[in-house]
Structure 1
Amino acid sequence: MPEQQQPARAWRLVLEHIERDLLDGRLGPGDRLASERDLATELGVGRSSVREAFRVLEVMGLIRTATGSGPQSGAIVIATPTGGMSQLLRLQVAAQGFPLADVVQTRLVLEDAVVGAMAASAERDTAPAHALLEAMDATDLSPTEFLALDAQLHLSLAEGSGNTVIAAMMAGLRSSIESYVQGGVEAIADWDTMAARLRDEHRALVTAIDDGDVDRARSLVHAHISDYYTQILTP
């Protein structure tokens, strides 16, 4: 089955299916998504993949999920992608075919500018980043959930940089970035050790930004991105 062969791709299939319905107006605020079981059957994936896609959509602020039964249970749309967000989601679909090396190189260029601008600014706001760091400390996160929050952390820094073009480009590349980051989990022998390392790297990066240390922030983000890329490619 597709999920057994490509588990990372399976949850992306669910995510893209729901995003298309949102973009095309088949779903809107107040609408309830199909159940995990129904979506899993319709798309030929496991229910765990549906849950992972729901988690990402919830982090993006597009849906709210609640357990139990009744009118408030399940996954409900609370926002619809309009304007810039709609364009970004469409860019994500196009970005699926970008070469991995190009995506990584683009991240290095963009995120170098992001952390440099934030560290140099007297009006920096890293409160969203700190909130995400705390969320990533939860011990019950799956690799997929952890990395979804990881991606949101990097996006929060881009949004906080004050450069709306860079923030838009980072958001538009989300699919390509998450695709290789999530796909690389299988190449990591000890995920718990890697997760601890990523937590430490994120905290060091945000601390450098808070301290206004431009050079250190740039050095840390370059090593953070490059080292993960190198590790997932190492046999």
Structure 2
Amino acid sequence: MITWLNALDSFPDTAQAWAPHSDAPGLLAAGGDLSVARLTAAYRHGIFPWFSEGQPILWWTPDPRMVLPVDEFKLNRSLRKTIQKFRRTPGCEIRIDSAFDQVIESCANAPRHGQNGTWIVPAMQLAYKHWHAEGCVHSFETWVDGELVGGLYGIGLGKMFYGESMFTRRVDASKIALAALVCFCRAHGIQLIDCQQRTGHLASLGGRTLPRAEFEAHLRGAVDLEGPAVWAYDESFWSHLDLAA
């Protein structure tokens, strides 16, 4: 049986999530709300909302969990050349939080292979915009000649970053934003980027799975640490990638 949350209910123990081979692996609870307080409590324990239009709010905690250890990010030859060209081309820049609303709306509208519609429904967009206004949700943006061409958004809690979604309007624009996020994390001592669900694309970039217990143990040691004081991208952060090879 799924746990139904009322407004004041806490989340159940994550061990109660549906098993990996069930109809909805990782499903923990339904209901509740998308308030900043509720979202903060959820992410601190590795729980996230994911539901479609017309469904109740559904809360998930998969086992295993897809993560990207920032020291294991795979920079292949093609992406290295793309970033090198991006850095030396006038008008190309990485920005953080300069167009958050555009980023989350673009992620919601981005086509997804094998999916109809989006899980970033209007209620989700509004909730994360409110959370962004409180300084916990951030966008990493790829800009070319004043045009937003790709990016991603996610949550920063302490020394933990939870990646949510990305979009691209030009080849590799979202990968450039992800590489910039990796550099930012390395510069600020953030060791792990949560990716939630396993995909071949993330695995090709260095993503791998962790057992839920190991992921939660990392959270307990990361979310209460002091996070970045300033969310802004400095060109010097690119030095955290081996771009000379």
Decide: shared fold, TM above 0.5.
Answer: no
Higher strand share: 2
Give the TM-score, by structure 2 length: 0.30
When normalised by structure 1's length, the TM-score is 0.31
